[in-house]
Amino acid sequence: MSRKIFVSAKEVADRAGVSRSAVSRTFTPGASVSEETRRRVTEAADALGYHVNHLARGLMRNESGIVCLIVSELDTPYRASLIRALTGQLQSASKIAMLINTDRSDDSVDQALRQAISYRADASIILSGMPDRSITDLCLKSGQRLVLINRDEDREGALMINLNDREAARRSFFALLRAGCRNFAFANSEAMTPSLMAREEGFCEAGREHGLEVSVERFGPTTYQSGVVLAQRLLTREKRPDAIFCVNDLLACGLMDAARHQFNLAVPSELCVVGFDDIEQASWSSYNLTTFAQPVEQIAAEAVTWLDQVTSAGSNSRRLDAELVWRGSVRGG
């Protein structure tokens, strides 16, 4: 390995003609240092290119400033924008994000949390997958904070951030009803995560309340390609749906493309579509998709402010609203 030769506080101290502690105090907000020594220290530090070693500081302070982001499929538009919001806000709170990609094996969320523990992360934020209870218990017991985003399952001591999935799905049903639709369908993936299932249940429930049957179809992962397949399955039914709620925007894009290019259906006159997430592509004029916006900045803000709080006792949970963004894929509006 290449010899690393970062400059240390000792060297700065020597050059500035002060003690090592003086250097340390200069870089510790609130410590007692005279204006004169501070000046000499910063001067020497600049000249030498000194930077406090956060690893060593973390060792002493018992606080690394590291927050782990545990994610799979991080190149998905929604995930990517959430990561962007989180990293941005973490940095504003002078913390730093470690990114752990769990695309590989199935137990890798557990592996990721082990990494988080190894690096003594102050907290872990889980955006996908659900770890074993034993490992989350270990995290909490070790004093590491835990944030679960859209994971729903209850974990005492962790912060759980969820959306009003059920209500949003209900609202979309009413919007489609008002648009004059009568044959409702729900396009879901086979991922079956709690938030996706909540949307399905909310939508179907609203249908039942109005005595309208909702045909549900589930296929594959939550991707564009699945949307294409779901369109083929739904649009070839004997009673062709005129309203489809897609469990997310990616699915909706695939479904709309198939509906238009393979089935020659016009949106929204022959088919109304609603999505979820409000990814950037939803606003592109080829889709112009009516959808529910994930409040990514707000989610990030909730997570980061909670991490800064001293008290973490008890079960914390936040339920945020996904706002309906009206565009052209539903009549009326």
DSSP 237: S
What is the rounded distance in angstroms from the CA atom of residue 19 to the CA atom of residue 157? 43
* CB-nearer residue toward its own copies: 115 or 317: 115
What is the rounded distance in angstroms from the CA atom of residue 278 to the CA atom of residue 294? 7
Element (H, E) at 68: strand 66-71
Q: Which does 320 bind (CB under 5 to 8 A by kind): its own copies, DNA, none?
A: none
Q: Which does 224 bind (CB under 5 to 8 A by kind): DNA, its own copies, none?
A: its own copies
DSSP 282: G
Size, binding site for DNA by CB under 7 A: 30
Touching its own copies, residues 253-312 (CB under 8 A): 253-254, 257-258, 260-261, 280-281, 284-287, 310, 312
* CB-nearer residue toward DNA: 10 or 208: 10
Smallest gap from residue 100 Cβ to its own copies (A): 7
**Amino acid identity for residue 280 in this structure:** E
* Contact status: 2 vs its own copies (CB under 8 A): yes
Peptide bond before residue 268 is cis, with ω within 30 degrees of 0: yes
Among 43, 75, 132, 153, binds its own copies (CB under 8 A): 75
Q: Which does 84 bind (CB under 5 to 8 A by kind): DNA, its own copies, none?
A: its own copies
Smallest gap from residue 327 Cβ to DNA (A): 51
What is the rounded distance in angstroms from the CA atom of residue 119 to the CA atom of residue 218? 39
Smallest gap from residue 233 Cβ to DNA (A): 53
Among 1, 60, 266, 310, binds DNA (CB under 7 A): 60
- Total length of the chain: 333
Mask 25-44, x = binds DNA (CB under 7 A)?
A: x-xx--xxxxxxx-------
Among 93, 96, 177, 179, binds its own copies (CB under 8 A): 96
Among 114, 218, 233, 318, binds its own copies (CB under 8 A): 114
* Contact status: 138 vs its own copies (CB under 8 A): yes
* CB-nearer residue toward its own copies: 169 or 300: 300
Smallest gap from residue 33 Cβ to DNA (A): 4
Q: Which does 88 bind (CB under 5 to 8 A by kind): its own copies, DNA, none?
A: its own copies
Rounded to an integer, what is the distance from CA 118 to the centroid of its chain? Answer: 23
For 135, 159, 299, 305, the CA distances from 147, given in Å and listed in that order, are 14, 5, 11, 11
Q: What share of the chain is helix, strand, coil (3-state, %, to 5)?
A: 45, 15, 40
CB 291 within 8 A of CB 252: yes
The SS3 assignment for 77 reads: helix
For the four alpha carbons of 171, 176, 178 and 181, in that order, the dihedral sign comes to: negative
* Contact status: 21 vs DNA (CB under 7 A): yes
